[in-house]
């Protein structure tokens, strides 16, 4: 779990430090977002290729090498003196971190007998679900109290500890040590980089450049679509593909990937908008916003061991359904937010949403590979994590776009209710009277109108957040019928199925 926790933490921990990174390296905020994008692109490219590298160099050796590369790149990120240096270091860091999740997940699934895989995935899930929650909190604290450079330096002791423990406890299974994977599919790897990179650019810059109103975004969309089609053709026709896509012929795996992609969009979306709401609408600092959303980790930590134990006794589909229902309820509960809430008004829905995430992630990760042989698990986990990350990127982009677009719609709707009559006239006169002793009549009038305009914008933005949260609830409900398309799997000693 350690390397996975470190890698997932790093995808979110730098988010709150972006303004500080931009200021320190003499870059604009838009340029600083490439600190996130460069990491995500290289990370996503390596994910599906991790199985080939593990077979070629040995999974244990490849895992250690990835941790070492990730840790050294973290040091270079912290020591960066200009934008080019940190972008180069983040690209290397993403390449090193891309394989950490699927390798760790495959090792856990193969190290435990089928009847204990649920408990193993519960431990692994703590790293995947809790890390994105702790990321903004830890990043805000380190940035405010010390420096943004410590956001990256914090990885160094974790990386050293992970290498020491892997050297002591992890061994490769016989089929890994005797494998001969053949030459790497360089064309497939290049096509993968093209469509992932173009997709990430489109998602990152879409709202800023008015999506398909921009020629650049249209070219990026075309490159992503063409790259994906050519990648699929290549992988199905190549003698030694970089990743075996035929694993999607397994119904449980294909549906599990669909569910984790949809839920990835929801969970990353809610992780994005709540700190954004606290900082932009409630004027919280990065540290305070992180503290406000951190109780989600409590829910995940409490529930995941229970879910791991229940997976051996209950049908996993009912646990997943309960998780989706609970998350939908929490999203609707949070949609009651107003500007009058306190830091702890949403604490219970936040805690329960963390519990729901554990109830979805652990059984989905287990059932998705439950009907696959051990030899296919390494390849499958790379694709599974890739689709979760792609779903998360799409989710983040969609919620940010909907907030910006719906804010304009709701502002126009609210504006129709303003007229020179009461209560607008009463509010305007009261504000103007308060401001007159501190400014001339003209300035008092302008400032009174500006304050009313700010109030209007705030109310419109609140409606946009409510709209986003309700859509997340709808997506969770849509996932429920998909759950029951999964085959029911049982863990039997010696069988190749998970719970």
Please state, in angstroms and rounded to a whole number, the distance separating the CA atoms of residues 113 and 102: 18
Dihedral of CA 167/172/178/184: which sign? negative
Q: What is the pLDDT of residue 407?
A: 85
pLDDT at 14: 67
Whole-angstrom distance, CA of residue 152 vs CA of residue 179: 36
CB 294 within 8 A of CB 134: yes
> Residue 499 has what pLDDT?
27
Both tokens assigned to 242? 């970089």
CA 360 – CA 337 distance, rounded (Å): 25
Residue ranges of E strands in 101-232: none
Note the pLDDT of residue 480.
Answer: 94
State how far the Cα of 167 lies from the Cα of 247, in Å rounded to an integer. Answer: 31
The confidence score (pLDDT) of residue 129 equals 67
- Residue 241's pLDDT is 82
CATH number among 3.30.390.30, 1.20.1250.20, 1.20.120.420, 2.30.130.10, domain 2-184+242-408+459-483: 1.20.1250.20
Rounded to an integer, the average pLDDT of 285-289 is 74
Does pLDDT of 292 surpass 60? yes
Mean pLDDT along residues 344-366: 88
H/E segment holding residue 402? helix 374-415
Q: Residue 339: what pLDDT?
A: 80
Structure-block tokens of residue 397: 């982009």
CB 48 within 8 A of CB 382: yes
User: What pLDDT score does 493 carry?
Assistant: 36
| Per-residue pLDDT, 370 | 80
pLDDT in tens, 85-114: 888 888 898 888 878 878 887 888 778 877
Q: What is the pLDDT of residue 29?
A: 58
Q: What is the pLDDT of residue 33?
A: 64
Confidence of residue 56 (pLDDT cuts 50, 70, 90): confident
What is the mean predicted confidence (pLDDT) over 389-416?
83
Read off the tokens for 16. 């709150």
Model confidence band, residue 16 (pLDDT cutoffs 50, 70, 90):
low
Query: pLDDT per residue over 465-482, tens digit each?
Result: 998 899 999 999 999 999
Query: How far, in Å, CA of 117 to CA of 245, rounded?
Result: 24
Question: String of b and e for 181-202 (b: at least 16 CB within 10 Å)?
Answer: eeeebeebbebbbbbbbbbbbb
Question: What predicted TM-score, i.e. pTM, was given to this entire model?
Answer: 0.78
For residues 368 and 351, what is the distance between their CA atoms, to the nearest angstrom?
A: 26
State residue 495's pLDDT score: 32
CB 28 within 8 A of CB 151: no
Q: Report the pLDDT value the prediction gives residue 164, as an integer from 0 to 100.
A: 92
In the block, tokens 């030899």 appear at 375
By percentage, how much of the chain surpasses pLDDT 70?
Answer: 89
pLDDT in tens, 198-239: 888 888 778 778 888 889 899 999 999 999 999 999 988 887
What is the domain partition of the chain in residue ranges? 2-184+242-408+459-483
Query: Which of these ranges, 169-173, 298-302, 493-497, has the smallest mean pLDDT?
Result: 493-497
Q: What is the pLDDT of residue 496?
A: 32
Q: Could you read off the pLDDT of 428-463 as tens digits, one per residue?
A: 667 667 777 777 777 777 777 777 777 788 888 888
Give the pLDDT band (50/70/90) at residue 491. Answer: very low
pLDDT at 498: 32
Average pLDDT over the chain, rounded to whole? Answer: 81
- The confidence band for 494, taking pLDDT boundaries of 50, 70 and 90, is very low
Read off the pLDDT of each residue in 332-360 and give the average, rounded to a whole number.
87
In total, the chain counts a number of residues equal to 499
Q: What span, in angstroms and rounded, lies between the C-alpha atoms of 98 and 40? A: 9
pLDDT of amino acid 219: 93
């Amino acid at each position: 779990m350690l390397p996975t926790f470190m890698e997932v933490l790093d995808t979110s921990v730098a988010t709150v430090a972006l303004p500080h990174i931009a200021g320190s390296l003499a870059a604009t905020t838009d340029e600083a977002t490439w600190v996130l994008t460069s990491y995500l692109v290289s990370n996503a490219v390596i994910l599906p290729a991790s199985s080939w590298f593990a077979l070629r160099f040995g999974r244990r050796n490849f895992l250690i090498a990835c941790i070492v590369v990730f840790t050294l790149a973290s040091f270079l990120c912290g020591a960066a003196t200009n934008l080019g240096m940190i972008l180069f270091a983040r690209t290397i860091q993403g390449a090193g971190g891309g394989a950490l999740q699927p390798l760790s997940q495959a090792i856990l699934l193969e190290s435990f007998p089928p009847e204990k895989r649920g408990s193993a995935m519960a431990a692994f899930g703590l790293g995947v679900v809790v890390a994105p929650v702790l990321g903004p909190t830890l990043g805000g604290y380190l940035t405010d109290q010390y420096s943004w450079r410590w956001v990256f330096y914090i990885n160094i002791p974790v990386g050293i500890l992970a290498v020491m423990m892997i050297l002591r406890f992890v061994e490769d299974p016989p089929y890994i040590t005797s494998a001969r994977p053949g030459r790497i599919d360089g064309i497939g790897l290049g096509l993968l980089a093209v469509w992932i990179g173009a997709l990430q650019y489109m998602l990152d810059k879409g709202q800023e450049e008015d999506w398909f109103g921009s020629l650049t975004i249209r070219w990026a969309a075309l490159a992503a679509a063409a790259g994906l089609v050519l990648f699929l053709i290549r992988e199905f026709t190549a003698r030694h593909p970089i990743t075996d896509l035929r694993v999607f012929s397994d119904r449980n795996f294909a549906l599990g990937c669909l569910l984790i992609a949809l839920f990835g969009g929801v969970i990353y979306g809610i992780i994005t908008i709540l700190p954004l709401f606290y900082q932009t609408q409630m004027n919280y600092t990065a540290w305070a916003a992180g503290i406000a959303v951190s109780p989600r980790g409590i829910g995940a930590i409490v529930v995941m061991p229970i879910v791991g134990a229940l997976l051996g006794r209950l049908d996993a589909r009912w646990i997943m359904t309960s998780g989706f229902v609970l998350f939908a309820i929490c999203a609707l509960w949070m949609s009651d937010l107003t500007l009058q809430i306190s830091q702890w008004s949403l604490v219970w829905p936040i805690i329960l949403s963390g519990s729901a995430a554990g109830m979805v992630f652990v059984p989905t990760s287990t059932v998705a590979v439950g009907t696959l042989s051990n030899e296919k698990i390494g390849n499958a986990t790379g694709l599974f994590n890739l689709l979760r990350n792609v779903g998360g990127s799409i989710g983040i982009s969609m919620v940010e776009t909907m907030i910006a677009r719906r804010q304009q719609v709701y502002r126009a709707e609210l504006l129709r209710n303003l007229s020179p009559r009461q209560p607008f006239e009463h509010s305007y006169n009261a504000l103007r009277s308060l401001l007159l002793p501190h400014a001339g009549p003209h300035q008092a009038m302008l400032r009174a109108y500006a304050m009313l305009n700010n109030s209007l914008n705030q109310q419109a933005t609140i409606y946009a957040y409510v709209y986003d949260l309700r859509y997340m609830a709808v997506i969770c409900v849509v996932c429920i019928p998909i759950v029951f398309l999964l085959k029911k799997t049982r863990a039997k000693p010696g069988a190749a199925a998970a719970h």
